[in-house]
Amino acid sequence: MAEHLRLKKSNCRNCYKCIRHCPVKSIRFSAGQANIIGDECILCGHCFVVCPQGAKEIVDETEKVKVLLAGGTPVIASLAPSFIANYDGAGIESMRDALKKLGFYDVEETAIGATMVKREYDRMLMEENRDVLISSCCPSINLLIRKYFKSLLPYLADVATPMYAHCADIKRRIPDAKTVFIGPCVAKKDEGEMSEDVVDAVLTFEELTNWMQEEGVVPEKKSIPEEKSRARFFPTTGGIIKTMTCEARDYSYFAIDGVSNCIAALQDIAGGQVHKCFIEMSACPGSCIGGPVMEKYHPGPVRDYMMVASYAGTEDFDTPQPEISEMKYLYEPMDHDRNMPTEAQITAILHEMGKYQPEDELNCGSCGYDSCRDKAVAIFQGKADSSMCLPFLMEKAESFSDTIVKNTPNALIVVNDRLEVQQINESACRLMNIRRESDILGDQIVRILEPDVFKSALRSNRSIHNHMVYLAEYSCYVDQTVIPAENGRFVICIMRDVTDEMHERLRKEDISRETAEVADRVVDKQMRIVQEIASLLGETAAETKIALSKLKESIADE
């Protein structure tokens, strides 16, 4: 199977929404990215519809069709009957005019092929000894049965889809024509590829719309109902049965839409609980008018149904019925590798996710899987990992956080925007002589601390670091860091007891001061001694000078 639906990695945000909505869980999470597993996918397109980040994209075949149009041979579009709802009332004449402007030779309704298919269903029920007959119009349901309910393939009508029947009819009438199917379905791209001798390309309504916008082509909002167009009901739930004669005796006719409902019905059939009935199955809720390319942009099932119903006639298209052999289509089983773990392996994986008892298995579905055991199986198959378990991660984070909060030597206090204490750890209780946390929880912070720094952090929504405070009531010094959180709804205060450091600092300051005072006294004393010595030296020098002068005079007299 080629890749028709793929991941845009830059957009994937690890939300698991696609796996929650994937009916067959054909998605593998790796490095936080949701990768589609091709051989398990049934191309229902639900992941494309629900992805909030637009991380799933349908492979575009517009350029392929442009190449066909440039080839010189007539290219004829087979337009799915849901077009009347997707293009808000533009009938086949308007769509033919619009597509011819793009270069198409002609445009016909796929409902012509639907008429051929429903006639074959009626014939099979009347002429063949069938117990249960499942419609084969929906390619996603066909893939579902071929991959996951292989034992039920004998019940799947071995009849071509309306797309195949119509495109084959076009090529019988115009042998050198190229055919392009246009509709709301992703799975049709895969079916077209598997039927490349009949269907040359497949476009979604989105691809066609983008192309018309590029070329400035706008279909006219005009439709002309025709009586001979009953098969236009095909894209609605029960629409196939509505077009059939339903004359087979002893048969029940009913329609089922939505993959989960179809899976439940297939399980009942496999269990031998269903007999003698024709079942119309559609993967999309509401059938094709709820298709992935319509559902994402046209979420109006009632309006869409009314558009189809008002456009459909009461009689069949006037088209010849092909030979039975030309309507046959063999649906073969398709293998995919899904190794199943043993019970011991499942138990070991559950233990890794912190689930040791049945009551630990919450089955909350946040990971996308219906149960914790299903998740364990997916982990074994390499499609998931334990980090996708939200309760496990929350418990792990809370445990980790609690361990830090309880064992840190720093005092931690959390207050709300009303300055009420919401959380306090043991270190804070010891620091401020609080017997139990419950003694202060819910009370105003002013009971134990000055609130000014908390008010300042809330008002400015900015952190305050290294705010030194002396708590006289507790005879201690603390270094406060106050951090606003959750857009100012809470404030976290971290207090580091620096009393010993402060006492040591003060002691050193006292020593420094005392040393300076001693030094000053020593200097003063030394200066006094120097002054005294200088004074004594001065007196001695004067006396010596006088004595020497007298001696000189005495010598001179002689």
Query: Taking the CA atoms of the chain, what radius of gyration do you get in angstroms?
Result: 43
Q: Answer yes or no: same fold for 339-406 and 408-497.
A: no
Check residues 541 and 67 and name the one with the higher pLDDT. Answer: 67
Q: Among residues 313, 293, 392, 401, which one has the least CA distance to residue 91? A: 313
Q: What is the pLDDT of residue 295?
A: 60
Other residues' Cβ atoms within 10 Å of the Cβ of residue 174: 15
| CATH 3.30.450.20 correct for 408-497 | yes
Report the CATH number of the 339-406 domain.
1.10.15
CA 125 – CA 246 distance, rounded (Å): 9
Strand 201-204's sheet: what is its strand order? 106-109, 75-79, 178-183, 201-204
Going by the DSSP 8-state scheme, the letter that residue 444 receives in this structure is B
Query: Torsion angle of alpha carbons 249, 255, 260, 262, nearest 10°?
Result: 30
Q: What is the pLDDT of residue 378?
A: 83
Strand 252-257's sheet: what is its strand order? 132-134, 277-282, 252-257
Q: What is the pLDDT of residue 367?
A: 73
CA 41 – CA 22 distance, rounded (Å): 9
pLDDT band at 530 (very low <50, low <70, confident <90, very high): confident
* Model pLDDT for residues 433-491, shown as the tens digit of each residue: 998 888 898 999 999 999 999 999 999 989 999 899 898 888 899 999 999 987 778 89
pLDDT band at 267 (very low <50, low <70, confident <90, very high): very high
Mean pLDDT of the chain: 88
| Domain regions of the chain by residue span | 60-327, 339-406, 408-497
Region 253-281: what's the mean pLDDT?
A: 96
Which structure tokens are listed for 150? 């292989």
